[in-house]
Amino acid sequence: MKLNWNDIETVLLDMDGTLLDRHFDDHFWLEHVPRTYARKNTLPLGKAKELLYALFRSQENTLNWTDLDYWSSRLGLDIPLLKREVDHLIAVHPHVTDFLLFLKRNGKAVQLVTNAHGKTLDLKLRKTRLGPYFDGIVSAHDLGLPKEDGRFWERLREKTPYDPEHTMLGEDSETNLSTAQAYGIRYLFYVSRSSSSLPPSPSRRFISLHYFSQLIPPAGSSEIDLKRYCSVPNELFAEVRT
Ligand SMILES: [Mg+2]
């Protein structure tokens, strides 16, 4: 099972967990926000966590999930300010810049495609300086739909044209890979090491990688042997697409 880079024109990349360490987001929402909320409302931390985790779950797979203004008003906290308090935890995953340079050198159209809210995006691009590596940056909030909604990929295409047959998507969300697959995006990769503080767990449905360096072919070649460098689910062996 080979990946031939000559067949790929456009590369769509998710941000949180895919290019950036999700440890920041997990720590922020699961620890920092509950702690601040507990202090403000004189609640025990355990109680605040129970309350907020349930609230967060109720907004999963919607744009509210990543809408900082929504959470600021819902929780009565200045969420952008709180993010800046822990922004030292924002980090780029290993080998990401090597991969982005490889894509640039090979003339691929590279798009950052994220559910992140504009304010999160600004903060993270300022901290990581990844912005210049992309030909375009699209927040789901600008399209009015999250990636979990199958219509997202069509709407993205209206904004920034791409050919799904010659497009690759890198994601740490199996749900988003599934909606992209249903839309017809051909090359799908799951980032199994989304957080530096959690053990990597490969997908059972998509080809998984820990680091994007696993997709960089040896010098002089445009092909990579996926079985050798990535984790390929058994069922995919059957439908070899070379
Ligand atoms: Mg993600």
Judge whether 7 counts as a catalytic residue. yes
Stretches where the chain sits below pLDDT 50 are 240, 242
Residue 215, CA atoms < 13 Å, CB-side half-sphere: 28
Q: How many A from CA of 15 to the centre of ligand 1?
A: 6
Q: How many A from CA of 42 to the centre of ligand 1?
A: 33
Can you list the domains of the chain with their CATH numbers?
A: 2-21+91-238 (3.40.50.1000), 23-88 (no CATH)
95 token code pair: 């080998």
Out of 7, 69, 87, 135, the active site residue is 7
18 token code pair: 């895919």
pLDDT at 238: 55
Ion ligand 1 neighbours (CB, 5 A) are 14, 16-17, 172
pLDDT at 242: 46
